[in-house]
């Protein structure tokens, strides 16, 4: 003899099943959206292409002897400086285009760190001064980013 569940219990089970199904669909849609966003992110593509081109130009300058006449020439320094500047430019572009306004703070921090490393290679300021300055700049970026986000 089959057991019959009360009507209320069956309704609860159906409701839970529908809710779980909707949540699964929502999760799949979010994951698909994130994947498409990464795949269709021309800002990131252009940034990495520019960094690779910059690294090639620096290496070409080093190996052809073109840049050795520059004062304080160090290929690593100019490589890090250029990459940092490109990453910072990416952060500015992301701020300017609402469609790609995500990851700005992380890009800004990473760009500042790369700039700090590059400056450290070519100056006599000492790493302590450079890292203190980078930390102040990162702190200010986080502070201003939080203030801006709070005003929305």
Q: Concatenated DSSP letters for the chain? A: ------HHHHHHHHHHHHHHHHHHHHHHHHHHHHHHHHHT-HHHHHHHHHHHHHHHHHHHHHHHSSGGGSTT--HHHHHHHHHHHHHHHHHHHHHH-GGG-SSHHHHHHHHHHHHHHHHHHH-SS-HHHHHHHHHHHHHHHHHHHHHHHHH-
Is the domain of 35 the same as that of 110?
no
pLDDT of 41 strictly over 90 = no
- 11 and 73 housed in the same domain: no
Q: Tell me how many domains the chain contains.
A: 2
Is pLDDT at 34 greater than 70 in this prediction? Answer: no
| Same structural domain, 8 and 50 | no
Interval 103-129 mean pLDDT: 85
Same domain, 17 and 80: no
48 plus 119 within the same structural domain: yes
């Amino acid at each position: 003899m089959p057991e019959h569940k009360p009507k209320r219990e069956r309704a609860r089970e159906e409701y839970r099943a529908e809710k779980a199904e909707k949540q699964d669909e929502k999760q799949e849609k979010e994951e698909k959206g994130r994947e498409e966003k990464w795949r269709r992110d021309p800002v990131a593509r252009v940034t990495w292409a520019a960094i690779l081109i910059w690294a090639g130009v620096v290496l070409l300058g080093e190996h052809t002897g073109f840049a050795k006449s520059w004062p304080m020439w160090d290929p690593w320094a100019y490589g890090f400086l250029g990459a940092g500047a490109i990453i910072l430019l990416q952060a500015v572009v992301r701020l300017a285009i609402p469609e790609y306004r995500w990851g700005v703070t992380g890009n800004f921090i990473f760009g500042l760190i790369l700039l700090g490393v590059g400056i450290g290679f070519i100056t006599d300021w000492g790493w302590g001064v450079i890292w203190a300055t980078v930390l102040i700049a990162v702190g200010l970026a986080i502070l201003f980013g939080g203030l801006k986000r709070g005003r929305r």
